[in-house]
């Protein structure tokens, strides 16, 4: 089948690579300026498409020109994985079918950040779903799904790898079903929920919250964009931590220094912080941070 692949993030790349032999065109988002300069750089999917020698187009808005470029390759199928933009109906109607891989137990966690939001909420049982797309956001009929277990110590990176391992064969199975013309959609049932895009406010740690909620935020945003707090007026990113059943200080207070890291009091319980990155420096283990900053018990974060 001739596939048009829609994707923009690094999460999309393993799926792009797995389907590359059948991809006639890659559709991705435009180049964006980087944090420390005005230079425009390609997103991971565009960069990988160039490396693989795959034809591509970048789309700010779906206009007549974009529609013509897609129609020119006469696609049989669209495959959408972490694209980042709603695809209008007059584009979705071009091929025989449009499939989207979505990492949640639909209709739960529709939207932009399903992996991060599920980890933040402490979800342990989820699914990888392949749906047939329509114009509504993640509301298409489900073609296939497979259960996904999220462990208490899984980071976003860990969960993404689980989804890739499960999702590639699941997506290939769905493509074969469409190719053979033997497939049926299951209408999503029950009340849905929306996984909104991660903002800077979501990244900020509020030490008044309980330790499990903060711990979930840290692992949901690891390794990027990373949750953060403030230390001596500088931004401090947190990457690894463990929960501790301790209550002997005020929220944000350093209550102990251990060889594994430093302990911070939360609203309920405490966190043993194991890996950090202070603004302008590299990511390091917390013990190195303690020695380098001469961290003291009683100092406060936030």
What is the DSSP code string of 71-113? Answer: HHT--SEEEESS--SPPPHHHHTSSSEEEEEESSSTTTTBSS-
Closest CA to 77 of 10, 128, 27, 13: 27
Task: Give the pLDDT confidence score for residue 33 in this predicted structure.
Answer: 81
- What residues have CB less than 8 Å from 69, skipping those under 6 apart? 25, 57
According to DSSP, the residues that pair with 131 across neighbouring strands are 100, 142
Cα gap 167→15, rounded to integer Å: 8
Please list the ranges in the chain whose pLDDT falls under 70.
35-38
Any idea which residue has 């200080």 for tokens? Answer: 249
Task: Give the pLDDT confidence score for residue 40 in this predicted structure.
Answer: 84
Portion of the chain with pLDDT greater than 70, in percent: 99
Please tell me the CATH code under which domain 3-180 is placed.
3.40.50.12230
Task: Give the pLDDT confidence score for residue 37 in this predicted structure.
Answer: 62
Any idea which residue has 């493509």 for tokens? Answer: 175
Task: Give the pLDDT confidence score for residue 35 in this predicted structure.
Answer: 64
pTM: 0.95
Task: Give the pLDDT confidence score for residue 39 in this predicted structure.
Answer: 81
Residues of the chain with CATH 3.10.25.10: 200-293
Closest CA to 109 of 188, 56, 53, 48: 188
Residues of the chain with CATH 3.40.50.12230: 3-180
Asked if 285 and 274 count as a contact pair (C-beta separation under 8 A), the reply is yes
Asked if 118 and 110 count as a contact pair (C-beta separation under 8 A), the reply is no
- CATH superfamily placement of domain 200-293: Formyl transferase, C-terminal domain (3.10.25.10)
Helix (H, G, I), strand (E, B) or coil at 40: strand
């Amino acid at each position: 089948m001739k596939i048009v692949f829609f994707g923009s993030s690094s999460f999309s790349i393993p799926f792009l690579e797995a389907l590359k032999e059948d991809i006639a065109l890659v559709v991705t988002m435009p180049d964006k300026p980087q944090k420390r300069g005005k230079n425009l750089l390609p997103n991971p999917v565009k960069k990988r498409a160039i490396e693989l020698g795959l034809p591509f187009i970048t789309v700010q808005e779906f206009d007549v020109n974009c529609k013509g470029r897609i129609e020119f390759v006469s696609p049989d199928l669209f495959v959408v994985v972490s694209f980042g933009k709603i695809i209008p109906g007059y584009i979705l109607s071009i091929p025989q079918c449009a499939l989207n891989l979505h990492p949640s137990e639909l209709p739960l966690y529709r939207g932009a950040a399903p992996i991060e939001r599920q980890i933040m909420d402490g979800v342990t049982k989820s699914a990888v779903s392949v749906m047939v797309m329509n114009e509504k956001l993640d509301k298409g009929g489900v073609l296939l799904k497979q259960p996904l277990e999220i462990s208490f110590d899984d980071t976003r990176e860990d969960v993404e790898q689980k989804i890739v391992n499960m999702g590639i064969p699941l997506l290939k199975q769905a493509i074969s079903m469409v190719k053979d013309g033997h497939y049926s959609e299951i209408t999503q049932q029950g009340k849905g929920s929306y996984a909104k895009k991660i903002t800077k406010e979501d990244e900020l740690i509020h030490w008044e919250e309980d330790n499990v909620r903060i711990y979930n935020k840290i692992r949901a945003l690891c390794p990027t964009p990373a949750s953060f707090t403030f230390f001596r007026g500088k931004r401090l990113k947190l990457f690894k931590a463990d929960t501790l059943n301790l209550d002997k200080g005020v929220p944000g207070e350093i209550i102990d220094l251990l060889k594994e890291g430093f302990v911070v009091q939360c609203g309920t319980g405490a966190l043993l912080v194991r890996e950090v990155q202070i603004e302008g420096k590299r990511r390091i283990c917390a013990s190195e941070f303690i020695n380098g900053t001469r961290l003291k018990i009683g100092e406060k974060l936030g």
